[in-house]
C-alpha cells in the first residue's frame, strides 16, 4: 500500500468539497485494506500476475441506481497502489445511472488494481445503495414540503460516508454525533420525570445546541412546543395523530415523523404536513447496488495505458 499518509492534492480537495475529512477517509480505507491483507499479501495476484503487468479496468453499474462514493473508490485505489494509478470518472455522485453505465475507468499496475478491487467495490456498492434507496424515498414525497432525514443507525466508523451517501440521494442529515445536537428520547423523559422537565434540563445545559424532543402523544407534542421546543419527533404516530399534531402545533415548531415508516406509506405521511420523515432504513437496510469491475487485456510489457 501507499507509504504516504495522505491523498493526492486533487482528490483531497474533492473529498473536502464533499464535506468529508480526507485524513479520516485515509484511516478508514487503510484499515479496510489492511483487513483484506491480514498482514500478508495478495497471494493469488502475486503468483499469477507478473510484477510489471499493467491493466485498465472499468467500474460499471449492473443495475439502475444513484451514484455515491466515486471519490472514495479513487481513495482506495490510491492507497492500495504502490505505483501511480490513473482514474477517470464518467458520472458524478448524485447522478442517476442505468444498468451497464460506466462509472469510473482506472489504469495502473495490475496487482495494485486487483488489491484495491474488493474494498473499492464494497464501499462503492454500499454507498450507491444508500443513495439509491434515499432517492426512492425523496421521489415518494415529491410535491410535499417534507424532507427525508437519516438517523444514527449507521455502520460503526462509516457514519460520515453513509450520511454523505444520503445527501447524494437528496436526503437530509440528522445529527452526526451525540454531541452536536440533543435528542430527548423516552428514556431521558423517564429519567427526568416528564417531557417538559427533560426538555428544560437539556435546554438549560446546552443553550446553544438544537434540541429535539421525542413524544408519543399529541398532548405531549403540544406541551413540548409550549415549553420552547422548536423540533418535535412524533414517535409511531398514525396518520390521524400526525394530522392532529400538525394542526395543534400550527407551525410553532418543526415536526418529524418517525417509527415504522415504509416507502409505501411515505407519501401519505408527508401529506399530513410534517417537516421530516426519519428513516433509519436509509443506512441500516439499504441493498447494495450491484457494481462490477471488468478488466481489459493486460499489458505484460508494462507500457502506459492509452
Residue 264: active-site member: no
Cell (9 digits) for 214:
421525542
Residue 74: active-site member: no
* Active-site residue, selected from the candidate residues 82, 102, 118, 254: 118
Find, among 215, 217, 213, the residue nearest to 240 by Cα.
Answer: 217
* Active-site residue, selected from the candidate residues 214, 220, 256, 275: 214
Q: Which residues pair with 231 in a beta bridge?
A: 254
* Active-site residue, selected from the candidate residues 42, 235, 256, 275: 235
Q: How far apart are CA 242 and CA 276, in angstroms?
A: 12
* Active-site residue, selected from the candidate residues 185, 243, 252, 254: 185
In the chain, what is the greatest distance between 2 CA atoms, to the nearest angstrom? Answer: 75
Residue 163: active-site member: no
* Active-site residue, selected from the candidate residues 82, 102, 152, 153: 153
Catalytic residue numbers?
118, 153, 185, 214, 235
Amino acid at each position: 500500500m501507499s507509504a504516504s499518509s495522505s491523498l493526492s492534492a486533487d482528490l483531497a480537495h474533492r473529498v473536502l468539497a464533499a464535506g468529508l475529512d480526507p485524513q479520516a477517509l485515509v484511516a478508514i480505507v487503510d484499515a479496510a485494506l489492511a483487513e483484506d491483507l491480514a498482514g500478508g499479501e495478495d497471494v493469488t495476484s502475486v503468483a499469477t500476475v507478473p510484477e510489471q503487468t499493467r491493466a485498465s479496468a472499468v467500474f460499471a453499474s449492473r443495475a439502475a441506481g444513484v451514484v455515491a462514493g466515486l471519490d472514495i473508490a479513487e481513495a482506495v485505489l490510491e492507497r492500495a497502489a504502490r505505483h501511480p494509478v490513473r482514474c477517470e470518472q464518467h458520472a458524478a455522485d448524485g447522478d442517476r445511472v442505468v444498468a451497464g453505465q460506466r462509472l469510473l475507468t482506472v489504469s495502473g499496475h495490475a496487482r495494485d488494481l486487483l488489491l484495491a478491487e474488493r474494498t473499492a467495490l464494497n464501499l462503492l456498492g454500499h454507498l450507491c445503495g444508500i443513495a439509491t434507496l434515499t432517492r426512492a424515498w425523496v421521489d415518494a414525497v415529491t410535491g410535499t414540503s417534507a424532507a427525508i432525514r437519516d438517523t444514527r443507525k449507521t455502520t460503526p466508523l462509516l457514519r460520515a460516508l453513509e450520511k454523505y451517501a444520503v445527501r447524494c440521494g437528496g436526503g437530509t442529515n440528522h445529527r452526526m454525533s451525540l454531541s452536536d445536537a440533543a435528542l430527548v428520547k423516552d428514556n431521558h423523559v423517564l429519567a427526568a420525570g416528564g417531557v417538559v422537565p427533560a426538555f428544560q434540563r437539556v435546554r438549560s445545559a446546552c443553550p446553544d445546541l438544537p434540541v429535539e424532543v421525542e413524544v408519543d402523544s399529541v398532548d405531549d407534542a403540544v406541551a413540548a412546543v409550549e415549553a420552547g421546543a422548536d423540533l418535535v419527533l412524533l414517535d409511531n404516530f398514525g396518520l390521524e395523530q400526525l394530522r392532529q399534531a400538525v394542526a395543534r402545533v400550527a407551525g410553532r415548531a418543526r415536526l418529524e415523523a418517525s417509527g415504522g415508516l415504509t416507502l409505501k406509506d411515505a407519501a401519505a405521511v408527508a401529506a399530513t404536513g410534517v417537516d421530516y420523515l426519519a428513516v433509519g432504513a436509509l443506512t441500516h437496510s439499504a441493498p447494495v447496488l450491484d457494481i462490477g469491475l471488468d478488466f481489459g487485456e493486460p499489458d505484460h510489457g508494462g507500457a502506459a495505458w492509452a
